[in-house]
Amino acid sequence: MPTMSLKNKDTNSVTHQKIIEWVENIASLTQPDTIHWCDGSDKEAAHIYDLMLRNGTATQLNPNLRPNSYIVRSDPSDVARSEEKTFICSRRPEEAGPTNNWREPKAMHQHLQHLFAGAMHGRTMYVIPFSMGPMGSKMARMGVQVTDSPYVVAGMRIMTRMGAPALEYLADNRDFVACIHSVGCPLSEGQKDIPWPCNQQDKCIVHFPEERAIWSYGSGYGGNALLAKKCFALRIASHIARNEGWLAEHMLILKLTSPQNKAIYITAAFPSACGKTNLAMLEPSLNGWKVECIGDDIAWMHFGEDGRLYAINPEAGFFGVAPGTSMTSNPNAMRMLNSNCIFTNVATTENGDVWWEKMNAPPKKLTDWRGNTWTAKNESQAAHPNARFTVAATQCPALAKEWDDPRGVPISAILFGGRRATRTPLVCEALNWSHGVFLGSIVSSEKTAAAEGKTGSLRYDPMAMLPFCGYNMADHWAHWLHIGKRKGAQLPKIYAVNWFRKNKAGNFLWPGFSENSRVLKWIFERCTGQGGGHNTPIGTIPDPSNIDISGLNITEEIMQHLLKVDVDSWLHEEIPSIRQHYAQFGDDLPAELTSELSELQARLS
């Protein structure tokens, strides 16, 4: 048991009895050598980075090229979220639903007691009090994470509002989500630490939605370890939101301003690796239009008194995928990464800077993400495909001034997007809210085969929440439908978008990236009472002339193809595939979605 003298904080000064008891219980289970209560100060951060440098976890990048930035290389076995090791321990399996891994809570608690016993031996346990969302906002929620990873402390400092103000705020006996994390790599007496401790055998990321608790063991990476993000802000928060009548979604939030200086706010859900960060801070190709970023991954939406849905970004930073990020795909991201970043599993150049695939032409020689020499002849990737940057939101040059407004921003449009080579048009407006929920429930992306031009199998990723919904997905749809029935609600319009349609030769028809501003312009016009379009069986679609393609080298024929609804293939391929996707939910599927599907079939027939 750690002695009181080893704690940096006199627990008498922590007035939230529940937190003290909880920390002491976790400490007596995990047996750390020391407990450190994080205050979030610069001095503390300097100490954490120094520790990571001394332990070989981090290396400082060339300060002349990338000031105050670090490269971290993880263990090669610990590079991504472990979906198959992610569990939802609700009381009954039906509450988790067919798309989650359910475990019985009591048995799981027993297992965790066993796993975590002595797990922090030889290490420091850091206590991180934090707020998700602007502290004091009615929409924000509090959490406390304990972790034995300095890398996680550094990440949480960027991604959340953490430290002394959060602890003070919690002192008012506020509720908090309890987040327990260990890399699962205790040190015996005198044993030297390794740069990236983790547990090769055992990993698990466990959620107890009713208890509002998260236990994560064995991994130090991303969404497995920064528990505020996917675990809290999506899985636990989606459960809280359902109970309290709001929405916690895997969505970016952006502000779109027209040349006439009129602004609307949009949220957009895309499956992982479909360009959310790129869209969130897009530099429009259309003159006079402006996109500003409020968030790139998670939106919490509550009803305001005026009946509109208001969104906040619960996070304070970006944990984005580096490969593919370039001055073409996301110039604002490239600018925000110029300093004050942690890069994980990217490659490094001979002069101490970072590099990843598609950033620009590869240098002749690099050190790859594993720390090995890499030359341009090398077949393997220099950066891991899931290599990441961690950077504060305030570094983004396109950050909207209202990004941390405690009142949130009123949402005019919600976009659902997938990666579909065929059939799904560039953009389509839902006929009404329940039709929009239907469009969200069928978000899907084609697997690699399709990306290569063949019709591949589809992975449905409803509302882009498949790995992130903390309860039964069918109940999540029911909740969305319920939201739409709220008295006096002024609901956003809902759109399905697809930047990824291809021609027969397998080439993308739409240039994407900054050109997506042309689609945003149409959505803006629809939301502000202008904007043409025609009704089709699947929703309202712009005529080719309704999309501003001025200055773009794209033919009328391509526009026709991008906006085409192929009735036959919708009827004979899409509908049966949706039916199959829905079948797994059995009786839990809301009747309204069954009706939406039948009505779609009738409109197509």
Bin 408: left if φ > 0, else alpha if -120 < ψ < 50, else beta. left
**Radius of gyration, alpha carbons of the chain:** 24
Restricting to residues 342-401, which ones interact with Mn ion according to CB under 5 A?
none
Minimum gap (Å) between residue 563 Cβ and ligand OXD: 29
Minimum gap (Å) between residue 299 Cβ and Mn ion: 11
d(CA 249, CA 238): 7
Q: Are strands 86-88 and 204-208 parallel, antiparallel or unpaired?
A: parallel
The binder of Mn ion chosen from 297, 357, 368, 596 (CB under 5 A) = 297
The interface partner of residue 461, options being Mn ion, ligand OXD, none and the CB cut-off 5 to 8 Å by kind, is none
The residue (of 82 and 584) whose beta carbon lies closer to Mn ion is 82
**Reduced 3-state DSSP string for 270-318:** CCCCCCHHHHHCCCCCCCCCEEEEEECCCEEEEECCCCEEEEECCCCEE
d(CA 102, CA 206): 10
Minimum gap (Å) between residue 91 Cβ and ligand OXD: 27
Minimum gap (Å) between residue 160 Cβ and ligand OXD: 15
d(CA 458, CA 469): 19
Minimum gap (Å) between residue 297 Cβ and ligand OXD: 5
- Site map 75..94 versus ligand OXD, x via CB under 6 A: ------x-------------
The residue (of 369 and 582) whose beta carbon lies closer to ligand OXD is 369
The residue (of 205 and 428) whose beta carbon lies closer to ligand OXD is 205
Minimum gap (Å) between residue 527 Cβ and ligand OXD: 26
The residue (of 176 and 319) whose beta carbon lies closer to ligand OXD is 319
Which residues neighbour 69 within 8 Å (Cβ) at sequence distance 6 or greater?
Answer: 60, 61, 339, 340, 341, 342, 343, 354
Identified catalytic residue from 89, 179, 274, 527: 274
The residue (of 230 and 521) whose beta carbon lies closer to ligand OXD is 230
The residue (of 272 and 422) whose beta carbon lies closer to Mn ion is 272
Count of residues that bind ligand OXD according to CB under 6 A: 4
d(CA 603, CA 282): 36
Q: Which residue is nearest to Mn ion (CB)?
A: 297
Q: Among the residues of 147-271, which ranges form H helices?
A: 150-159, 164-170, 222-225, 237-244
Q: Residue 329 corresponds to which tokens in the numbers above? A: 């795909």
Based on the residue annotation, tell me whether 179 is a catalytic residue of this protein: no
The residue (of 297 and 475) whose beta carbon lies closer to ligand OXD is 297
Which residues neighbour 189 within 8 Å (Cβ) at sequence distance 6 or greater?
Answer: 122
- 249 part of the interface to Mn ion, by CB under 5 A: no
- Concatenate the DSSP letters of all residues of 5-57 into one string: GG-SS-GGG---HHHHHHHHHHHHHH--SEEEE----HHHHHHHHHHHHHTTS
The residue (of 324 and 533) whose beta carbon lies closer to ligand OXD is 324
Q: Residue 438 corresponds to which tokens in the numbers above? A: 């239907």
- 155 part of the interface to ligand OXD, by CB under 6 A: no
Note whether 478 and 590 are within 8 A (CB).
yes
The binder of ligand OXD chosen from 95, 148, 297, 475 (CB under 6 A) = 297
Q: Which residue is nearest to ligand OXD (CB)?
A: 272
The residue (of 297 and 368) whose beta carbon lies closer to ligand OXD is 297
Minimum gap (Å) between residue 81 Cβ and ligand OXD: 6
Minimum gap (Å) between residue 250 Cβ and Mn ion: 6
Note whether 288 and 263 are within 8 A (CB).
no
Minimum gap (Å) between residue 553 Cβ and ligand OXD: 33
For tokens 């009735």, the residue is 567
Note whether 368 and 348 are within 8 A (CB).
no
The interface partner of residue 223, options being Mn ion, ligand OXD, none and the CB cut-off 5 to 8 Å by kind, is ligand OXD
- Concatenate the DSSP letters of all residues of 425-492 into one string: -SEEE-SSHHHHHHHHHT-EEE-HHHHTTS---EEE-GGG-TTT-SS-HHHHHHHHHHHTT-TT-BPP
What count of other Cβ atoms lies within 10 Å of the Cβ of residue 571?
16
Note whether 139 and 406 are within 8 A (CB).
yes
CA 556 to chain CA centroid, nearest Å = 36
Minimum gap (Å) between residue 155 Cβ and ligand OXD: 12
The interface partner of residue 516, options being Mn ion, ligand OXD, none and the CB cut-off 5 to 8 Å by kind, is none
Note whether 147 and 114 are within 8 A (CB).
no
CA end-to-end span of the chain: 70
Note whether 348 and 354 are within 8 A (CB).
yes
Restricting to residues 484-523, which ones interact with Mn ion according to CB under 5 A?
none
Count of residues that bind Mn ion according to CB under 5 A: 1
- 272 part of the interface to ligand OXD, by CB under 6 A: yes
- 223 part of the interface to ligand OXD, by CB under 6 A: yes
Bin 65: left if φ > 0, else alpha if -120 < ψ < 50, else beta. alpha
- 131 part of the interface to ligand OXD, by CB under 6 A: no
Phi, psi of 452 (to 5 degrees): -90, 5
The residue (of 297 and 368) whose beta carbon lies closer to Mn ion is 297
Per CB under 5 A, which region of 136-144, 160-168, 173-181, 289-297 contacts Mn ion? 289-297
Q: Which residues bind ligand OXD (CB under 6 A)?
A: 81, 223, 272, 297
- Residues serving a catalytic function are 274
Q: Which residues bind Mn ion (CB under 5 A)?
A: 297
